[in-house]
A and B are shown apart, each in its own frame.
Chain A
Amino acid sequence: MKTMELRVTVNGQPRKWSIGPGDLLLDVLRREGFFGVKRGCEKGECGSCTVLVDGRAVNSCLMFAAKVQGCEVLTIEGLADGDRLDPIQGAFLDHGAAQCGFCTPGMILAAKWLLDKNPHPSEDEVREAMAGVLCRCTGYIKPVEAVLAAAKQPAKRATRKREPAGVAR
């Protein structure tokens, strides 16, 4: 099998990996030990594999790993600051928003994408932003409460820009 070199920053750490040109980001991340990235459908339908690439929430199962060359990838493992949980993580615990927890990394990262962009979302905006993550346990009620509660906290997260150049607005 042909291989290529991938240089990427994952959770703030520069990495240099050897990958197949057709490898998908989900497989590469799990192979490299980022088990918080979950495999739920491999078709972009469940959102369990959500990661942030340059601040943008994507399904890592649909993204060729070669595409993240030079990008910053954030997985759930990189969200907490040492022992200090991100407010979204804390809110998920306080509101009982994680049941089995399989969808939880995807949910939290989708919420992170939203709050970075829109720190005070309405409930509808939360539901829309999170809609790409399916959950079979919670009925979505407590996750929505948790994200709204996290949004009310004084925001202390680094905001990333996601606007690519060249788009007229």
Chain B
Amino acid sequence: MFERVEVFYRPASVREAVRLLAGGKGRARIVAGGTDLVVDGDPTARALIDITHSGLAYIRKQGGGCAIGAATTMAELEESRTILALGGGILARAAATCGSIQIRGVATVGGNLANGSPAADLVTPLLVLDAVVVVADAKGRRKLPIAEYLAARGTKGLRQSLLVEVTAPRPLGRRCGWSFQKLGRTALDISVVNVAAGLQVDGAGRIQWARVALGAVAPTAIRAGATEENLQGRTLDAEAIAQAAEGVMREVSPISDVRASAAYRREMCRVLTRRALEECAAQAGCAL
């Protein structure tokens, strides 16, 4: 499958990785865990750049939030105290659903984002955590909100860049609630639909802000902006949740495939959003 690969690099730094990528004439490929790259079997690859020795496997506390190196694996996310403490641990929870232990031991957060699958499970929690992506290329480093990164991922500007890290800002105080919901056909599965949600309520039970992200129901995972706006300022109760759950159905554009029909996916957006917001409410101390 990769018979035509001519060289395998193991750069020891980000700088070297970026240099190799720039020198690859468009035929160098970054390899992290390889769990997407090898399956896809890209026959045009001539050089492979293994970034797992480039100092990118780290999870650092950073001003209350955290910075996650692109080569950090799912297994490391699952077990990290920092990640378990971040946003109700939704990122750790999502990482724990990404395939078998064999996959999770090598699959990376960078690969999950860079591969750009609409069903990638880390994306919805990262969207809800308002994560920012740091990319590097020959010209230097840039920061991009994750949604922007996803949208621009395939463009010329980003194709030759290395995803360096993902940062998530400090979680926002008290009375927050978080949830990650995944629907698969069996215990180990690519998401048919996944939903992440986060919110905060004030002392009176009014929603100060709410975030809802949905995966596998649009070309990339999306934030349900209109639904989030409608929630803001409302009292967090069963009716608000039901309306939000109905609302997300209008914001998604699922397709039919062998995993599920568009209609089913749309309906599941409702069910999972409701379940996610109910879990958030319970964590935020709101009785429904």
Q: Is the CB of B48 within 8 A of A21?
A: yes
Q: Is the CB of B101 within 8 A of A129?
A: yes
Q: Which of A53-75 contact B (CB under 8 A)?
A: 56-59, 61-64, 66-67, 69
Neighbouring B residues of A169 by C-beta, 8 Å:
79-82
Known: A4-B8, A62-B35, A64-B34. Is A22-B103 also a contact (CB below 8 A)? no
Residue B3 lies at the interface, judged by CB distance under 8 Å to chain A: yes
Question: What separation, in Å, do the CA atoms of A20 and B45 have in the docked complex?
Answer: 13
Q: Is the CB of B101 within 8 A of A128?
A: yes
Q: Which of A17-57 contact B (CB under 8 A)?
A: 20-24, 43-44, 47, 50, 56-57
Residue A136 lies at the interface, judged by CB distance under 8 Å to chain B: no
Residue B90 lies at the interface, judged by CB distance under 8 Å to chain A: no
Q: Is the CB of B102 within 8 A of A50?
A: yes
- A57 interface neighbour in B4, B33, B105, Cβ under 8 Å: B105
Neighbouring B residues of A168 by C-beta, 8 Å:
58-61, 66, 80-82
Neighbouring A residues of B58 by C-beta, 8 Å:
166-168
Q: Is the CB of A62 within 8 A of B34?
A: yes
**A-B Cβ contacts below 8 A, count:** 115
Q: Mark B108-145, 1 if CB is under 8 A from A, else 0.
A: 00000000000000000000000000000000000000
Neighbouring B residues of A114 by C-beta, 8 Å:
101
Q: Is the CB of A44 within 8 A of B76?
A: no
Shortest CB–CB separation between residue B141 and chain A, in angstroms? 19
Shortest CB–CB separation between residue A54 and chain B, in angstroms? 10
Neighbouring B residues of A161 by C-beta, 8 Å:
none
Question: What separation, in Å, do the CA atoms of A4 and B2 have in the docked complex?
Answer: 14
Shortest CB–CB separation between residue A62 and chain B, in angstroms? 5
Interface size on B, residues (CB 8 A): 42
Shortest CB–CB separation between residue A73 and chain B, in angstroms? 14
Residue of B nearest to A129 (CB): B101
Q: Is the CB of A24 within 8 A of B60?
A: no
Known: A22-B5, A64-B31. Is A132-B188 also a contact (CB below 8 A)? yes
Residue A92 lies at the interface, judged by CB distance under 8 Å to chain B: no
Q: Is the CB of A56 within 8 A of B105?
A: yes
Neighbouring B residues of A110 by C-beta, 8 Å:
101-102
Known: A2-B7, A44-B35, A131-B187. Is A167-B2 also a contact (CB below 8 A)? no
Q: Is the CB of B8 within 8 A of A58?
A: no
Question: What separation, in Å, do the CA atoms of A164 and B72 have in the docked complex?
Answer: 10
Q: Is the CB of A44 within 8 A of B39?
A: yes
Neighbouring B residues of A4 by C-beta, 8 Å:
7-8
Q: Is the CB of A21 within 8 A of B103?
A: no
Question: What separation, in Å, do the CA atoms of A110 and B104 have in the docked complex?
Answer: 13
Neighbouring B residues of A50 by C-beta, 8 Å:
102
Q: Which of A75-129 contact B (CB under 8 A)?
A: 110, 113-114, 128-129
Shortest CB–CB separation between residue B82 and chain A, in angstroms? 5
Neighbouring A residues of B80 by C-beta, 8 Å:
167-169
Residue A158 lies at the interface, judged by CB distance under 8 Å to chain B: no
Nearest 4 Cβ contacts at the A-B interface: A132-B100, A22-B2, A22-B5, A21-B8
A residues neighboring B (CB under 8 Å): 1-2, 4, 20-24, 43-44, 47, 50, 56-59, 61-64, 66-67, 69, 110, 113-114, 128-129, 131-133, 164, 166-169
| 6 pairs, CB–CB < 8 Å, chain A vs chain B | A1-B3, A2-B6, A44-B38, A110-B102, A132-B99, A168-B58
B residues neighboring A (CB under 8 Å): 1-8, 10, 31, 33-35, 38-39, 45, 48, 50, 52, 55, 57-61, 66, 69, 72, 76, 79-82, 99-103, 105-106, 187-188
Known: A21-B2, A166-B58. 9 other contacts (CB 8 A): A21-B7, A44-B102, A56-B106, A57-B102, A62-B34, A62-B39, A62-B106, A66-B8, A67-B52
